[in-house]
Chains A and B, each alone.
Chain A
């Protein structure tokens, strides 16, 4: 069931020449967790604030549970939208206890109902017994859980979260991501969260929407976007990658790695350039010279803890490549060979009409 639907929402801030959000559309099914991913200034926070009703869009339509929340005639106040929000700084009321924070949104319910809903929430987020603490007496993770309980207590249709993990210690991030994910799944919440960290999306989201300069670049499951990014920006956004240029010659794609056996994509014309992404983890080191291996000159290696990052140069073309080897594997300081499986080469459909980042020379 579609619970929220945004159509062609655009917003330009007064005094700004570029739209903060342009033709933003989104459909969310009940129980889904959606991550809005992008660098700061990409419009993801603007999108979130428009959904919540704190910003008003210039154009577009927003429907929440088949009721129009915003279009060019109507506007539903944030107080009436049935949306819960967890702010980046949590926005806990510092002068109120945990209990009073959580019951703050329940003021229209009877006293008995308030107590029932709030204590359910306290149990759910594992804060039972913390009723009389003040926010400043809690750890960052506990504060987040109070914010979650407060937002969920009035049983909103949708939960919005702004950078939910930016205030959590790096050490604890993984654990808290998992806890939050299982909690949200247990309650069947519909969630939209905003982040600049791909790891948040990988750990939490069922759907990811990657944004840049106010526009949606790609939408899909995290696996799909990671595996098949549509352009060089997206490929680079999900971790380090190598960009391999190619060109169609006589119906075959030729690259610096040699001619490819794969069928050329439909619609590719003769002499047209193409761009591939190749993850450093998909390249392996070998000592044997055979028909499959490619000779490289090792230039530099850097120990990264879980792996060693190796920078090399193709002997034939001089193209630079990055790859990873296990930390205990010795890397010869001279010419050696690498192996690449052609299935790991991912063709970027939108490149190279867009510029793409290159490895630093």
Chain B
């Protein structure tokens, strides 16, 4: 008995815990994330070509400047809109408060690029609004109403309007989870509402705000549609230019590498900012904040101010899109429109299915065989969300093209694309990118179910697999549905990754609407855009239903 000294032998229990089918499956999934990262990294280290020389000399400083300015501007704006409206909603009562509380989330259903081209169309010389202004009031408008939206400030405003809900949501949830006692204590010590906001609410809510803003910045770095439409040269558009205009694969990879450095820096800053601080109200009686009722002019002014993000980020552009869609529907509704919808939905549904299966596997592995290294493994496989779509596309394209070449050599089939430009590549990319979305939802419902249920099933003679199928999956159904729904929507509106990796002549709703818009045919982009927005709204609605009704 005991361990024989000087000789290491793997015990049967060690083997059972660390080497089994579940762990192997999770390892494979982590490898899918490693593949694009490795291919970017190895390309990043190799020598550049002539195009790369040109890019570093002429374009790189501009990319960096624009990207950083975009990040700075969007984070400031989303903080002001998101935290400001969340605070006002938490402490004041005014007409329409209950509607605005959920309406402020609506822009989340509006992809940034759709919001972008809609506003560009709205403010352009030929838009119905401009025409109305000229004809009714006789005012001569310039090429643009108000200001040239197709600019860096324009892109900042558009991105902020479509992304602030992330910050608003986390800030609002945080504020409404706070017990009033802290603020009442501050009031009794002579602090006004405003002083409570600056000296208590903001510093206490910082972890929640950091989480929200970093999510927004990930989206900003991922964005291709807005910046390319608005003519703002950033790393993402640079990657496209390098690959498609210069035909320089290595430059695209190197740019991707630089963008990844930016992403990693962001992740590190987020970690440091968030740290382990959690300013939750200490244990005790929870009592919600007593809201101050606003009266008269101030009440209506507040309503209007808080309604502004919803109007600009959702209501006005949605109304415009509906108007355009009615105008152009007969034009757009040709034989190719139905297949387009079917294509998009099939693609999104299969991606959702794959991601859900994959994340059930990883989260159940983590639950059943918890250990340090499996934790690291699973965390790594959720890294994909941080890789911007264009980078991921390049990182997958390169090894897949190489594999095609090898396969061609093997079969002596000449030059044929076997893997590249197929659904397989596309689904692989979605899996890598959206695994975290699935994992977060499934994991959070898993942690709500007691592990003694697993143990009870095992003690009654059931294997890990039947326990998963008969006990765990039925119990986490809401989380599984939510995960699937979110991935479905994300894929439906995804642009840069799909643009690069899609099969030849294969269109999705997102691509079709974006292409119409870039062809100066914004009204014709409206029907596709509306379908995406409608599905997004449906998803938001279903999610609120699902999360409110856990099983029994």
Contacts and interface: CB of A to CB of B under 8 A. Distances in A.
Are both chains from one complex?
Answer: yes
A226 interface: no
A3 B551 CA distance: 41
A79 B461 contact: yes
A145 B474 CA distance: 24
A85 B456 CA distance: 7
Interface string B1-24: 111000000011100100000000
A91 B453 contact: yes
Contacts of A83: 459
B458 A60 contact: no
A104 interface: yes
Interface string B428-459: 00000000000000000000001011011111
Q: Which of A59, A61, A79, A136 has the most CB of B within 10 A?
A: A79
Nearest to B453: A91
B202 interface: no
A93 B453 contact: yes
Given A72-B11, A104-B460, A91 B450 contact: yes
Given A79-B461, A95-B475, A104-B460, A87 B455 contact: yes
A89 B12 CA distance: 30
Contact of B462 (A73, A79, A85, A134): A79
B459 A93 contact: no
A74 B12 contact: yes
A78 B458 contact: yes
A88 interface: yes
Contacts of B463: 79
A105 B455 CA distance: 12
A8 B16 CA distance: 23
A172 interface: no
B352 to A, nearest CB: 23
Nearest to B454: A91
A113 B286 CA distance: 52
Interface string A67-95: 00001111101111101110111010111
A38 interface: no
B460 A88 contact: no
A107 interface: yes
A105 B460 contact: yes
Interface string A39-72: 0000000000000101010011100000000011
Contacts of A343: none
B474 A87 contact: no
A108 interface: yes
Contacts of B531: none
A104 B552 CA distance: 19
A151 B551 CA distance: 24
B12 A73 contact: yes
A107 B456 contact: no
Interface in B442-490: 450, 452-453, 455-463, 466, 470-471, 474-475
A79 B1 contact: no
Contacts of B462: 79, 104-105, 107
A136 B552 CA distance: 8
Contact of A95 (B1, B16, B474): B474
B2 A59 contact: yes
A80 B361 CA distance: 24
A52 B470 CA distance: 21
A72 B13 CA distance: 9
B1 A91 contact: no
Nearest to B459: A85
A78 B16 CA distance: 13
A54 to B, nearest CB: 5
A187 to B, nearest CB: 18
Q: Which of A56, A88, A94, A107 has the most CB of B within 10 A?
A: A94
A52 B12 contact: no
A73 to B, nearest CB: 7
A80 B12 CA distance: 15
Interface in B288-302: none
Q: Which of B2, B450, B460, B552 has the most CB of A within 10 A?
A: B460
A89 B449 CA distance: 12
Nearest to A82: B461
A134 B552 contact: yes
A31 B3 CA distance: 35
Contact of A52 (B11, B459, B474, B551): B459
Interface residues of B, number: 26
A78 B455 contact: yes
Contact of A91 (B452, B466, B551): B452
Contacts of A87: 452, 455-456
A59 B1 CA distance: 7
Interface in B174-214: none
Nearest to B477: A95
B413 to A, nearest CB: 49
A94 B552 contact: yes
Contacts of B552: 94-95, 134, 136
B461 A154 contact: yes
Given A91-B450, A93-B471, A134-B552, A56 B455 contact: no
A19 to B, nearest CB: 14
Interface in B8-51: 11-13, 16
A150 interface: yes
A345 B455 CA distance: 47
Given A56-B13, A75-B13, A93-B471, A88 B459 contact: no
Contact of A104 (B1, B457, B475, B551): B457
Nearest to B11: A72
Given A56-B13, A89-B450, A134-B552, A107 B461 contact: yes
Contact of A61 (B1, B12, B457, B470): B1
A75 B12 CA distance: 7
A65 B319 CA distance: 75
Contact of B459 (A56, A84, A94): A84
A122 B458 CA distance: 22
Contacts of A60: 1
B384 to A, nearest CB: 30
Nearest to B474: A95
Contacts of A134: 552
Contacts of B450: 89, 91
A40 B301 CA distance: 58
A59 B455 CA distance: 22
A76 to B, nearest CB: 10
B8 to A, nearest CB: 13
Contacts of B474: 95
A322 B232 CA distance: 85
Nearest to A49: B455
Given A89-B452, A95-B475, A75 B16 contact: yes
B458 A79 contact: yes
Contacts of B1: 8, 59-61, 71-72
Contacts of A77: 458
Nearest to B14: A56
A103 to B, nearest CB: 10
A143 to B, nearest CB: 13
A213 to B, nearest CB: 21
Contacts of A78: 455, 458-459
A195 B474 CA distance: 32
A78 B474 CA distance: 23
Nearest to B464: A79
Contacts of A74: 12
A151 B459 contact: yes
Nearest to B372: A14
14 contacts: A60-B1, A75-B12, A77-B458, A78-B459, A79-B459, A85-B455, A87-B455, A87-B456, A93-B457, A94-B475, A95-B474, A105-B459, A105-B461, A154-B461
Interface of B: 1-3, 11-13, 16, 450, 452-453, 455-463, 466, 470-471, 474-475, 551-552
Given A93-B456, A94-B552, 6 more contacts: A52-B455, A73-B12, A80-B461, A84-B460, A85-B459, A95-B551
Nearest first, the 9 A-B pairs at minimum CB distance are A105-B460, A91-B452, A91-B456, A56-B13, A87-B452, A85-B459, A75-B12, A78-B458, A95-B474
